[in-house]
Amino acid sequence: MIAYVVTCVEEGESHTRIAKRLGIAQPTLSRWIREGATGDAGFRAVAIIPSAGPLATPLPPSLRLRTPRGFVVEGLDAELLVSLLQVLG
């Protein structure tokens, strides 16, 4: 993602326009660019594995968690949400 954004910036596109196209807030995009330049982007490798059992009942669509780092989580029950946040740190 950072490589794509850097290419857009080098071609003269503004952070605001890029952020709008990607559906993220401009300050978040600017932070990603800054952190990417320092090599401290904070991304972690993740693996998605099949569930051994049935999925929990999802939360109503009106509930949403947005973390301070910009992650948005929707549709998980409380147990799955806590597990995800523990993995992400």
Structure tokens at 67: 């973390």
pLDDT for position 73: 75
Question: Which has the closest alpha carbon to 74: 83, 61, 57?
Answer: 61
pLDDT for position 85: 72
CB atoms under 10 Å from CB of 29, counted, come to 23
DSSP string, 10-25: HTT--HHHHHHHHTS-
CA dihedral 49, 52, 53, 58 (to 10 degrees): -10
pLDDT for position 11: 92
Domains of the chain, residue spans: 1-43, 47-89
Structure tokens at 49: 């594995």
pLDDT for position 13: 92
Q: Are 32 and 70 contacting, i.e. CB atoms less than 8 angstroms apart?
A: no
Predicted model pTM: 0.42
